[in-house]
Amino acid sequence: MPAHRFRSRTTHRSHPSKRFPALGTLVAAFSLLLAVPAQAADVPARGSAHLGMGVVAHDGQGGTPADSRATQTEGVDVSSHQGNVAWATLWSSGVKWAYAKATEGTYYTNPYFAQQYNGSYNVGMIRGAYHFATPDTTTGATQANYFVDHGGGWSQDGRTLPGVLDIEWNPYGASCYGKTQSAMVSWISSFLTQYKARTGRDAVIYTATTWWTECTGNYAGFATATPLWIARYATAVGTLPAGWGYYTMWQYTSSGPTVGDHNKFNGALDRVVALANG
């Protein structure tokens, strides 16, 4: 009997898989979890992108603008991140123009757009709308139509600025949206062409020099017709993308008063009105 018990115990211990049949599966599953890229959890929700979302990460953030070569007019840009905006406060602080995010891709409209677009207008500001481009989801022309159909149009009332194509780092994946430089230029051209066909106006391009250089090869062909809104959070605007000899607007900080994103229009208020009038 003692020997029999010894043999029985020895046999039992030599086959642990019979006692824990799922142990190998659990270990394998745990290993797969550890292999998932950590950055996946940091990808923002679709629709949450906004002007300058990648500027701090890629270009950094410096001090107060020191560019005083000409009179400049203060402006702001807003998205759903700001919610309902205190437009009277901004107007009293000297802000005279504003852009509100209208759309992204062909899947998102800003739920605060009406309050932002109409609210800025109602306090006396010159206002406009912008579109956050996602060149990896649909064509440029398709997104231009979506933008115009959801608030991005233009009217010659002296108070409405032309629409903006916000083309910058992809917050959801590869910086250049998986496109070659030539394919990116073609996508942008498609958007601009369709926007002008729908509104009669040349859209404004919002971008950063580092992104433009990387993702378009520093293409210069849009500069003759398209106003430039440059993003650079520093004391000076720095080098502009190829072709543009000057900027029309400059987003100089994401940490301004009342709302974070503040901008300088390169001229006095009458030049803002001139852009609105075309």
CB 249 within 8 A of CB 204: yes
Coil vs helix vs strand at 185: helix
Cα separation of 10 and 110, whole Å?
69
Q: Which residues are catalytic, by number? A: 77, 166, 168
Say whether 253 sits in a helix, a strand or coil.
strand
The CA angle 169-175-181, to the nearest 5 degrees, is 105
User: Maximum CA pair distance of the chain?
Assistant: 106
Cβ burial, residue 203 (10 Å; 0-12/13-18/19+): buried
The amino acid present at 101, given as its one-letter code, is K
Residues 6+ apart with CB under 8 A from 232: 55, 59, 208, 209, 238, 250, 251, 252
Dist. CA 143–CA 177, nearest whole Å: 15
Phi, psi torsion values for 205, nearest 5 degrees: -100, 125
Instruction: Find how far residue 66's CA is from the centre of its chain.
Output: 25
